[in-house]
Structure 1
């Protein structure tokens, strides 16, 4: 019995190590998106990521510097995920934790800068095994790739470290683009999409070592009649940020007056 155990144990260990290595090496090559919007089936490749697993996307085109990331739930379940930008073997200059109450009605839509470097983007499903997600990741194309620059034409809101800002929107705002950046200092903040008093539909926690080169750009779908954005600068007082917003899809009616407090 001892002799058989001594033979079986190394085989089991070898099998488990080999399986782990294969899962860690699994990655999708970076391609160019076929849409400047957020149509999941045209942002390739599409990958199903089971709960408590991860998938990496490899990008190596020095001529492009913006990645388009879309995540939803095929069954409309909650999505809890984490996006990590890998630059080299042990450097993560950008990390984004994402939560959405309904991955079909409130999909995750973001642009992430690569600065023209060879990078890998890890999509980690930190939800339970019964909550899979679908992730699509490609190089963004015009005019979407220039959307962060276009948003900066709006007047920024200065948010000191530790401050909380709120803004409400009328029913005519169907989709909203937001941008958070700094003057080169670190970016550490939380942004939430609310529908009703303190009813959080989406929440994002971002950390960036350089909020100018690796800013946060998000696109919120805003169904329903009343929606609001709550922004929290989680950094200390000496790390302010600039916040920009711009409605990218408008329904019937005029834009309402938007008041911060």
Structure 2
């Protein structure tokens, strides 16, 4: 019902990607990984960097770090006409360090539809993901788990949306 997509950029050399599900047995996880060609990877890199640079950014500092307690929280209400929203997380130019966060897609007060416990080791690569946001009352909540000294910046934009005259395509 609520698929999740992400684009990961790695530094050169061998890398490891861990995908896990700590939810109950009744809620299985289906995952797939695709490695693009070098040409396609370069296009994705350029697209992500351009989108990040041209968009308004939210500056987020951490808290005590290492736990879900006390970190800075940002919420992004998603208009009803937006079918999916994209988020780019990057600490480039603000700390250059990695990012750790809890990202939740909510529909209604604390009704979690998706939860992503996110961690990236370095600030040289952006993290770009797309969340399905069907229906009314969807909010993306970002809770920093990083130390106060290692801030990051976030961009949240529509990915797929329906033109609705009353709402227009205004975003945030």
Does the pair score TM above 0.5?
yes
Aligned to 2:84: 175
Deviations 1:67-101 (A, max 9, x none): xxxxxxxxxxxxxxxxxxxxxxxxxxxxxxxxxxx
Q: Which runs of 4+ in 1 moved over 6 A?
A: none
Tell me, which stretches of 5 or more residues in structure 1 are unaligned? Answer: 1-104
Measured in 1, the distance between the counterparts of 2:28 and 2:159 equals: 29
Deviations 1:41-78 (A, max 9, x none): xxxxxxxxxxxxxxxxxxxxxxxxxxxxxxxxxxxxxx
Q: Matched residue pairs, number?
A: 153
Alignment of 1:41-52 (within 5 A): none
Matched residues in 1 for 2:59 and 2:123: separation? 14
Structure 1 pair 240/120, CA: closer, same or farther in 2 (3 Å)? Answer: closer
1:182 and 1:169, CA in 2 relative to 1: closer, same or farther beyond 3 A?
same
2:31 pairs with 1:135: yes
Partner of 1:157: 58
1:195–1:226 contact (8 Å) kept in structure 2: yes
Gapped regions of structure 2 (runs ≥ 5): 63-70
Which of 133, 157, 161 is matched with 1:246 structurally?
157
Counterpart contact for 1:106–1:202, Cα < 8 Å: yes
Larger radius of gyration: 1
> What is the CA distance between 1:195 and its match in structure 2?
0.7
Q: Counterparts of 1:148 and 1:195 in 2: how far apart (Å)? A: 27
Tell me how large the CA RMSD over aligned residues is: 2.2
Report the equivalent of 1:189. 101
Contact 1:206/1:216 (8 A) holds in 2: no
Greater relative contact order, per chain length (Cα 8 Å cut-off, separation 6+) = 2
How far apart in 1 are the matches of 2:114 and 2:127?
15
TM-score, normalising length: structure 2: 0.77
Deviation string 1:127-157 (CA, Å, 9 cap, x unpaired) is: 4555543221112437655442232120211
CA–CA separation in structure 2 for the residues paired with 1:223 and 1:134: 20
Q: TM-score, normalised by structure 1?
A: 0.53
* 2: CA distance, partners of 1:174 / 1:191: 18
Shift of 1:208: 2.0
Q: Which of 129, 133, 149 does residue 218 from structure 1 map onto?
A: 129
**Does 1:115 pair with 2:11?**
yes
Residue range with higher mean Cα deviation, 144-153 or 215-224: 144-153
